[in-house]
Amino acid sequence: MLILGYVGFELKTCKRFRPHANLKKVYYVYLGLVAIIPLVITSAPVWAVPVFAPELLPVLPLLLVPLVTVLVIMGFISFWIPKYYRSIYYMLKENEVVVERGVWWKIKQVVPYARVMTVNTIQGPISRFFGVGSAQVYTAGYTGLKGGTAGPGSRGAEASIWGVPNFVEIKDMIIELIGGKPLFGGTATSEIGSEILKELRRIRKAVEK
């Protein structure tokens, strides 16, 4: 069984592989960007009350509850990020790509190569700065939830190998593994296609008569 992974920036044979450690840095940057506005708004009483409303100083601790709430949420997410990172694993097998993730709710996505329609690579500015990107695997008719790595307004990928430095090479590997595998298993689909073709020919003959 062929299973591919990477160590550093090179692909090699292994059982499973996980994202690069820089993915955690990407998540921390996202957290910081998302938290900037809430932190500015909720910390306003710290400097505004003494200057503009000193009569509210006795109730200042109550006014700081929103700030404390934001800091607690940030602390929880900061604690969660490394746990989530350690939960992510990828496998490229002979016949399917497997993605596992989840801290409390474990998710395992298995996508047979016979169902894969296209593989795209995505690398945003923050990911580019940290040298990682993603290979997005799309199948025919998949209507899953839109993911942040898929880009705004785009259809979500059925499987995403996200946070790896060699994402382009992984995309090429998946395309190579897809090669020669007919869509949806091939045999049954070919028989159905032949039946449809025969039916169309019968309809054409009937119309011509």
C-alpha span between 27 and 121 (Å, rounded) = 19
For residue 42, what are its two tokens?
Answer: 């909720």
Domain coordinates of the chain in residue numbers?
A: 4-19+88-178, 26-84, 184-209
C-alpha span between 184 and 119 (Å, rounded) = 16
Q: What angle do CA 48, 49, 51 make, to 5 degrees?
A: 65
Give 83's contacts (C-beta < 8 A, 6+ positions apart). 103
> 4-19+88-178 has which fold?
PH-domain like (2.30.29)
Residue recorded with tokens 């025969």: 198
Give 38's contacts (C-beta < 8 A, 6+ positions apart). 70
pTM, full prediction: 0.73
Give 144's contacts (C-beta < 8 A, 6+ positions apart). 155, 156, 157, 158
| Block mean pLDDT (10 aa), the chain, length 209 | 43 70 97 95 89 83 92 96 96 90 92 90 95 92 50 66 94 84 51 61 67
